[in-house]
Homo-oligomer: A and B are copies of this chain.
Amino acid sequence: MAKNHTVTLKELSKKLNISVSTVSRALNDHPDISPITVDRVKRLANELNYVPNLFAKGFRTKKTNILGVIVPNVSHIYTTTILKGILDEAELSGYRVIISESKNDETKQVEMLQTMIQFGADGILMSLAKKTSSVNKILSMLQRVPLVLFDKVSDKIPCTQIVIDEEEAAYNAVQHLIGLGKERIAILKETENSYNSEKRFAGYKRALEANNIPLKEKLILSTEDISLINGKRLTNVLLSMKKRPDAIFAITDNAAIGAIQTLNKFSIKIPEEIAVVGFSNSASATIITPSLTTVDQPGERLGRTATTYLIKEIQNPIEDLVTKTIEIKTNLVVRASTFKG
C-alpha cells in the first residue's frame, strides 16, 4: 500500500528470470508458451496485483475497449432506460462506455462523433439528432469505425439500426381502441416527418384500413413539438369540432397527458366519451387520473441488442455496409384511460 509504484511486465519478467515478451505472451494465452510458464507468470501476476497499462496497450494495438454513445438528451427518461441496457451489456463484454449529448444539434453531433473517433472509441452507438439532414460527414466517419444507430435512425445511413417496431405498436394501440367500439379516432402527431412519427402514423392508418374505417383528415392533428402543452392545445381543437372524436391516440405520453388534462377540465368522461392512449409508458402514465393506457417500449432491451450488434461488428468487421434494421416488439399496457374495470 505504501509503495505507490505500478507493476509492469518488465518487473514480472525480472522476478521470474524470463523475458518481457514471454510474460506478455503468457498473459495473453499465446499458444507458443508452455503451460508451466503460463502458470508461473499468471500466478505471480496475480500475487503482485498486476494490472496492464491500458494506455500502452491501446497505444500499441489501437484498440481501446471503449464504446461511444451519442444521444440527443441524456435526461430524457426513455433514453436513460436505453442507456442502462447499453451500460449493462457493455460491461458484460468488458467494454467501457463514454456518453455525450448532441443536444439535437447537427453540428455538435458531428463534432462528438469526431472526438470520439479521435479518442479511439472502438465503435459508436448513436441516436440521431432531430432533423439530421446532411449525413455526408457521418458517412465519411462510417468507414473509420463501426456504427450502430438506435431509436432515432435514418435509412440514408447504411449500417445496422435497432428500433422499436413503431408501426406495429401503433397498429395494436389503435386496434385496441377499435376493439372498444371506437370509430372516430383522432391522432396527435408530429409535423416534422421524423422516423418515429411517420411509423406510428402508418400503424394508425393500417389499423383503420384493416377495419374499414375511413381516414378523416380532420382527425389528424400535427404539431411541431409534440409536448404536453401542445397536447392540450390540440385537444382543445378537437373539442371545438361539431362532431367530436370518441378516442385520441397521442404519439407521445406527454401529449396524451395534456389531452387527459383538458378532457378533465371540461369534465368529459374518460374513456366513455373519449378514450385516450399514449406512447412510451412513462412514469407519469400512472400518476395522471385516469391512468394512461400506453405503449411500453422496452428501452433496456433495445440498448442491450444495439450493444450486442455493435460489439459483434467490432470483433468481426463486416465488409459491405448496408442498412439492416432490427425491430423490437412492444406491448400495450392497458389502464383506466381506455378501460372501465
Question: Which A residues fall within an 8 A CB radius of B?
Answer: 1, 4, 51, 53-56, 58-59, 64, 66, 74-75, 77, 80-81, 83-84, 87-88, 91, 96-101, 115, 118-120, 140, 143-144, 257, 264, 283-284, 287-289
Q: Whose C-beta in chain B lies nearest to the C-beta of A53?
A: B59
User: For residue A77, which residues in chain B have a CB less than 8 angstroms away from its CB?
Assistant: 75, 77, 80, 283
Complex Cα spacing A51 to B83, Å: 29
Query: In the complex the two chains form, is A120's CB within 8 Å of B81's CB?
Result: no
Count this chain's copies in the assembly. 2
Give the 10 A-B CB pairs with smallest separation, nearest first: A75-B80, A55-B59, A284-B287, A287-B287, A98-B98, A59-B59, A55-B58, A51-B118, A284-B284, A287-B288
Q: Which of B4, B51, B97, B283 contacts A99 (CB 8 A)?
A: B97
User: For residue A83, which residues in chain B have a CB less than 8 angstroms away from its CB?
Assistant: 74-75, 99
A229 to chain B minimum Cβ distance, whole angstroms, is: 11
User: For residue A96, which residues in chain B have a CB less than 8 angstroms away from its CB?
Assistant: 98, 100, 115, 119
User: For residue A287, which residues in chain B have a CB less than 8 angstroms away from its CB?
Assistant: 257, 284, 287-288
User: For residue A98, which residues in chain B have a CB less than 8 angstroms away from its CB?
Assistant: 66, 96-99
Q: Given A59-B55, A120-B55 in contact, is the A74-B80 Cβ separation under 8 Å? A: yes
Query: In the complex the two chains form, is B64's CB within 8 Å of A75's CB?
Result: no
Apart from the given pairs A54-B119, A87-B99, 18 other A-B contacts in the complex at a CB distance below 8 Å = A4-B143, A4-B144, A55-B120, A66-B98, A74-B80, A74-B84, A75-B77, A75-B81, A75-B84, A84-B101, A96-B100, A97-B98, A98-B98, A98-B99, A99-B99, A283-B284, A284-B284, A288-B288
User: For residue A99, which residues in chain B have a CB less than 8 angstroms away from its CB?
Assistant: 83, 87, 97-99
User: For residue A143, which residues in chain B have a CB less than 8 angstroms away from its CB?
Assistant: 4
Name 21 interchain pairs, CB-CB below 8 A, sorted by A. Answer: A1-B140, A4-B143, A54-B118, A54-B119, A54-B120, A55-B59, A55-B120, A59-B59, A74-B80, A74-B83, A75-B77, A77-B283, A80-B80, A87-B101, A97-B99, A98-B99, A264-B289, A283-B283, A284-B284, A284-B287, A287-B288
Query: In the complex the two chains form, is A87's CB within 8 Å of B59's CB?
Result: no
Residue in A55, A59, A91 with the greatest tally of chain B CB atoms within 10 Å: A55
Q: Given A74-B84, A284-B283 in contact, is the A64-B59 Cβ separation under 8 Å? A: no
Q: Whose C-beta in chain B lies nearest to the C-beta of A112?
A: B91
Complex Cα spacing A316 to B119, Å: 24
User: For residue A284, which residues in chain B have a CB less than 8 angstroms away from its CB?
Assistant: 283-284, 287
Complex Cα spacing A4 to B142, Å: 12
Q: Whose C-beta in chain B lies nearest to the C-beta of A292?
A: B287
Complex Cα spacing A144 to B5, Å: 11
User: For residue A118, which residues in chain B have a CB less than 8 angstroms away from its CB?
Assistant: 51, 54
User: For residue A64, which residues in chain B have a CB less than 8 angstroms away from its CB?
Assistant: 55
A135 to chain B minimum Cβ distance, whole angstroms, is: 15
